[in-house]
Amino acid sequence: MSNDGGNIVVANDIEKSFGRGAGRVHVLRGLDLTVRKGEFLAVMGPSGCGKTTLLHVLGLVTPQDAGEVFLNNRQVPLKDSARNVLRRKHIGLVFQRFNLINVLSAADNVAIWLRVRGLPSDGRVQPLLEAVGIPHLARRKPSQMSVGEQQRVAVARAIAHDPDLLLADEPTGSLDSLNATALLELLRNFNRLRGQTIVMITHSPEAAAFANRVVHMKDGRLLP
């Protein structure tokens, strides 16, 4: 499989294991996946099938043991420093645990994300909070928000640098059904109206229904 101009990311024959010797656990086993520009892809599978590890490989958080990853038609080096640069520039990450900085306001949580990437924050933060529907919460800290509001701040932070690829790891896992639906509608709107490419890991068929393509994993591989 080779990359072409219509793909954001291509993973070829990916292997990933953890541990050593008799305790070695093979998590990804020769996995192939192509994500095309502008699609909203859901990756489903039971706990322990390798979904989150796959997301970390695609997000350049964790290097694969074998195989190749291409991002925007270029092979991604295994060297940490090179992957870190590419991740900060091209990829946004949304986690189940929001990873917000508790002592900072919503606006400052987004602003510091921009500054870390060497981008100006002046005039950019409020439109991002508006885009996720919480402009009125700019000065509130995470402890003063609901979990649904905190997740929206996390989404605003993840899209702040206009990433080519947005990766979401069980983004509704900590939300009730009402907030989960609202968040999924938000992601779908980003995909449809902005052309944002999204890969979402989920075990929920209801969440996966918001995507425009669904693939299933089992035992470290994608099912045919």
Give 185-206 pLDDT, tens digit per residue: 999 999 999 999 999 999 999 9
Q: Find the angle CA(130)-CA(136)-CA(141) to the nearest 5 degrees.
A: 110
pLDDT at 4 over 80: no
Cβ contact 211:42 at 8 Å:
yes
Of residues 97 and 65, more confidence is placed in 65
- Calculate mean pLDDT across residues 33-51: 95
Rounded CA separation 98/151 (Å): 6
Rounded CA separation 54/33 (Å): 10
pTM: 0.92
Cβ contact 187:31 at 8 Å:
no
**Per-residue model confidence (pLDDT) at position 3:** 44
Percent of the chain residues topping a pLDDT of 70: 98
Q: Are strands 40-44 and 197-202 parallel, antiparallel or unpaired?
A: parallel
- Calculate mean pLDDT across residues 155-172: 95
**Per-residue model confidence (pLDDT) at position 54:** 96
Give the H/E segment covering residue 32: strand 25-36
The CATH superfamily label for domain 38-61+80-222 reads: P-loop containing nucleotide triphosphate hydrolases (3.40.50.300)
pLDDT at 1 over 60: no
| Cα dist from 61 to 17, 52, 133, whole Å | 15, 11, 29
Domains in the chain: boundaries: 38-61+80-222
